Chains A and B, each alone.
Chain A
C-alpha cells in the first residue's frame, strides 16, 4: 500500500530522480528510421490552441514537460525538472531544472522558458485549451523563477495530485515565441504551414518535413538531454515517419507488408486472429499492455429540459429504468461477443486496469432478467398490446434512440448486443450511427436520448478528471456544465469530488473516491459493461518497446524505441 500510494504523499520532501535506467532489452542499437501510422493530420503544431490527437502526438515527440506521468506505471517521473520539494500544505512546489539543457536549435533552456509558457497559457488572447487544466477550482497556478534552474509553482488551493497537473504542460521556447505572444498572435503561431526549422523543442525528435496528406518526418533532436544507462544519448532512432493512414484496415495491411513498424493504437478485437497469424509467420509481435482504463460508456441524456414535455419522462428519466437495463446485460457474454473474450466485465467508470483507483467491491447489478423485468414493472411498464415490447399506462412504447460512433467496431458490436439484451426484457432501442464529430456535436448541444461511445480519460487520477465527475464539468457527459447541480445526488457527488481533490492524505483520497463511486453506482448516470484488454503489435525489427494501455500505446516512449541489429539501415 505504501508503494501504491507513495507518490501522493505531499509532506515536505525531496524527490530523488529515479536512476535513468532504460529497462528491457540489453544494448539496444542506435540508428534507423521507424514508421508508424497517423489517423488524421494535425490541425496545428501549437499545443496551446489545439487538442486534436495528431497535435498531441506531434507535441509528445517534439516537446517536453517538467514532469511526466509514466504510461506503464502511471507514476510521476522527473523530466525537465530533476527533483522537487513540496510545502507541508501541498500548495507550494519548488522544482529544480536539469543542468545544461538545450533546445533543439542549441539555445540554452532555463526557467524563463517555463515562466513564458505559463504566461502564454493564461494569456486571454491565446484562449489556450490547456488553461483550464492548469487551474484548481477555477483559479490558475502561479509561477515564479528565483533563478535559472528553479521554478516555484504555487497552487491557489489544496490539490491532492499536486504537480501531477504539470504533466499537461508542454514547455515552449521563449526565444522563438515571445514575439508572437507580445504581438498577440500566439494563437496563430506554429500553424501547419510553419517551416519545420522554426519549430524547436526539448523532445526526442524534431520535425524535418511535413507533407500534407502523406507523412510527417522527424529527425533525432541532436540536443536531446536523455541518456541510457550506458551513457548513450537517446533517442536510439535516427528518425521517425508518421504516415497519414486514415483507415485501420490499411494500417494492418501496412504492418503486414512491412511498410509500417507498429500499431498506432490498440488492435481491434476482430484483428486479433489476423495478428496472431502474422505473428506465427514472423511478420510482427503482438503483446498485451493490460486492461484498458477507458471502457465504452452508455449514458442517457439527463438534462431535465430534454424530457420536460416527453411523455416517456416518468420512466425514461428515472434511476430505476437504468438499473433495470443494467440487470438486463450479461457482461460475460458481452465481453465474449464484443471483445472475443479479451475483456473484463466492469460495473463502473474505473476499470481494473486503473490499479490505483479501482474498487473491486463497487456495488454491482448482476445479470438477472427477472429482476430487470420486475423493476420495469415497478415503473408501470407492461406489455399491453401483445407485441414484443412494453408500454406505459398511456400506451407509449418503451423505446428510445441510441446514437453511437460509426466506424468503431467494438462500439458497433456492443450496441447490437445491448439492443438485443434490452429487447429480451421488452425495451426497444433504435440505433443510429454517426461520425464522431457529429456525435460530439449532438452531445454538447444535448440533442440526444442516449449515447454509446468511448470516453478517453487523460489521467487515471480522479482528481484530474473532475470535468467528468463535477456537475459543472465540460465532460459531465449526461448533463454537461450545469450552473448548479440538477439533482441532490450530483450535489453530494460534487462535494465528495471536491473533498477528494483537495485531500492530501492518500488513504483519505481513496476513501472519498469510493464514496463518489458508491453514489455514482446508486444512480447510474452512465453504464459500463466491459473493459478490453489492450493488444498492440510491432514489426519484427522493433525492439525495446514499453506498451501502455492509453494512447499512444507505443510512441509515448519513442525515445527508447529501437530497431534490431542489422535492420537499422533499412530506408523508410
Chain B
C-alpha cells in the first residue's frame, strides 16, 4: 500500500510541477523548426550545451547543425534560439515542453477521475455489502449492466451529448464524470466482496450488537479493511485513465486541440510521415508507457500479496 500511495504522490507531483519545468509555453511556435529533430545535450569544459539547428529544406523538413554555434540549456538560452531537447512537432512547438504541460492535463484528469471512481465505488460497494437485499441486488445489477456496455461507444455517446464547446474546467469535470460512471462498478464489486467477508468478523458483529450505526460500522470497521485494495486500485486506475484520455483526445472527443495533453499531442503525431520521419513526436506515448510500466513494477509485490492472500483464504 505504501508503494501505491508513493506512486500516486509522485504522479501528483509531476502533474503540478511538470509545466513549471517546461522551458517554453505549450503553444510557443518556432516557424523554422517544424518537425525539427531533438538537439542532444553535450558536455565540454564550459559545461552542458547544445548545437543549434538551421533549416536546410522547408518542404522536406531537413535540418543541419550549425557548426561553431553553441546554445546553453533551454532554460538559460534566449527564446529566439530554440533548444529543442526532444525535437519539435508539426507546428514547431517544443515536444519536451508540451509533454511536461500535457502531464498536467492528462495526469490531472486521471487523478480526479480516480478519486471520484474510488469514492463512488467504495460507497456503493460497502453500502451494498452492508445493506444486502434489494439494495445489494440493485447496486450489483447496475454495475453489471455498466460493465457489459461497450465502453468506447458509451463514452463517445456521452461526450457527443455534451455541448461542443466547454470551458476547460467543464471538460475536465465532464470527462472525469464519464470515467467515474464507467469505472465505479469494478471498485464497488471488489469492496462488496471485502465488506461481505468482513461483516462476518467478530469485531463487526460486536459493534453492531453494541448498537453502532450502519455509517459507523461502515466507516470504522469495514472500509478500513478495503484500504489496501483501494490503494492498489488507485494506482491501477491512474494509468488506465491516462490511456483513456489519450484515446478520447486522439478521437477528438477528449481535450480540444488547443489544450496540451498527451492525447492531443499523439493525435498531432498520427500520420505515417510523422511517425517515420519525426518519431520524437511520440514522446507523450513514451511518457504514458513509463507511467504504466512504473505502476506495474511498483505494484507487483502488492498484487502478489493480494493473490497469495486470496489463495490462502480460498
Contact = CB atoms under 8 A, between A and B. Distances in A.
A binds B: yes
Interface of A: 248-250, 252-253, 268, 270-274, 276-277, 333, 336-337, 340-342, 401, 403, 406, 409, 412-413, 415-417, 419-420, 430-434
A277 B165 CA distance: 41
20 contacts: A248-B271, A249-B272, A253-B272, A270-B35, A270-B271, A272-B59, A272-B61, A274-B273, A276-B60, A333-B31, A337-B34, A337-B92, A401-B165, A403-B164, A409-B90, A412-B257, A413-B90, A413-B91, A416-B258, A431-B257
Contact of A342 (B59, B62, B91): B59
A416 B165 CA distance: 16
Nearest to A247: B272
Interface of B: 27, 29, 31, 34-35, 58-62, 90-92, 164-165, 252, 256-258, 271-274, 276-277
Contacts of A341: 58-59
B209 to A, nearest CB: 60
B83 to A, nearest CB: 20
Contact of A409 (B27, B58, B61, B271): B271
Contacts of A433: 252, 257
Contact of B276 (A274, A403, A430): A274
A340 B27 CA distance: 18
A556 B258 CA distance: 39
A415 B257 contact: yes
Given A340-B59, A432-B165, 11 more contacts: A252-B273, A270-B90, A273-B60, A337-B34, A412-B257, A416-B258, A419-B258, A430-B165, A430-B256, A431-B256, A432-B256
Nearest 8 pairs between A and B by C-beta? A249-B272, A341-B58, A273-B60, A274-B273, A432-B164, A431-B257, A270-B273, A271-B273
Interface centre among A342, A419, A430 (most CB of B within 10 A): A430
B60 A272 contact: yes
Nearest to A253: B272
Contacts of B60: 272-273, 276
Contacts of A342: 59
Contact of A274 (B165, B258, B277): B277
Contacts, number: 79
A250 B272 CA distance: 8
B29 A420 contact: yes
A249 B271 CA distance: 6
The SS class assigned to the B binding surface is: loop
A416 B257 contact: yes
B216 to A, nearest CB: 49
B27 A420 contact: yes
Contact of A431 (B31, B258, B274): B258
Contacts of B62: 273
A351 B258 CA distance: 29
Contacts of B90: 270, 409, 413
Contact of B34 (A252, A276, A340): A340
Given A253-B272, A416-B91, A431-B258, A273 B165 contact: no
B31 A336 contact: yes
Which of B90, B272, B273 has the most C-beta atoms of chain A within 10 angstroms of its own C-beta?
Answer: B273
B53 to A, nearest CB: 15
A401 B59 CA distance: 31
Of B29, B91, B257, B274, most A-chain CB atoms within 10 Å: B257
A337 B59 CA distance: 10
Contacts of B29: 337, 420
Given A341-B58, A341-B59, A273 B91 contact: no
B74 to A, nearest CB: 21
A273 B277 contact: yes
B270 to A, nearest CB: 8
Given A273-B59, A430-B256, A417 B271 contact: no
Nearest to A267: B273
Contacts of B58: 336, 340-341
Contacts of A248: 271
A164 B85 CA distance: 57
Contacts of B165: 401, 430, 432
A430 B31 CA distance: 22
A333 B31 CA distance: 7
A119 to B, nearest CB: 44
A431 B252 CA distance: 11
A413 B256 CA distance: 13
Contacts of A340: 34, 58-59, 61
A271 B271 contact: yes
Contacts of B277: 273-274, 277
Contact of B273 (A273, A337, A403): A273
Given A337-B34, A432-B164, A252 B272 contact: yes
A406 B34 CA distance: 21
A270 B59 CA distance: 8
Nearest to A435: B252
A250, A253, A333, A431 — which one has the most chain B CB atoms within 10 A of its CB? A431
A397 to B, nearest CB: 11
Contact of A270 (B31, B92, B274): B274
A122 to B, nearest CB: 41
B271 A268 contact: yes
Nearest to B32: A336
A413 B158 CA distance: 27
Contacts of B276: 274
B93 to A, nearest CB: 9
A128 B36 CA distance: 51
Contacts of A250: 272
B31 A406 contact: no
Contacts of B35: 270
A349 to B, nearest CB: 26
Nearest to A256: B272
B165 to A, nearest CB: 5
B80 to A, nearest CB: 16
A331 to B, nearest CB: 13
Taking each of B59, B61, B92, which has the highest tally of chain A beta carbons within 10 Å of its own beta carbon? B59
A530 to B, nearest CB: 14
A401 B167 CA distance: 12
A390 B272 CA distance: 40
A326 B257 CA distance: 22
A565 to B, nearest CB: 31
Contacts of B252: 406, 433-434
Contacts of A276: 59-60
A277 B34 CA distance: 18
A336 B31 CA distance: 7
B91 A337 contact: yes
A86 to B, nearest CB: 45
Contacts of A272: 59-61
Nearest to A269: B59
B144 to A, nearest CB: 33
Contacts of A271: 271-273
A340 B63 CA distance: 13
Nearest to A250: B272
B240 to A, nearest CB: 25
A274 B257 CA distance: 25
A412 B277 CA distance: 19
B97 to A, nearest CB: 15
B153 to A, nearest CB: 16
A14 to B, nearest CB: 47
Contacts of A415: 257
A252 B257 CA distance: 25
B25 to A, nearest CB: 11
B29 to A, nearest CB: 7
A276 to B, nearest CB: 5
A333 B60 CA distance: 17
B91 A401 contact: no
B278 to A, nearest CB: 9
A336 B35 CA distance: 13
A131 B271 CA distance: 40
A340 B277 CA distance: 15
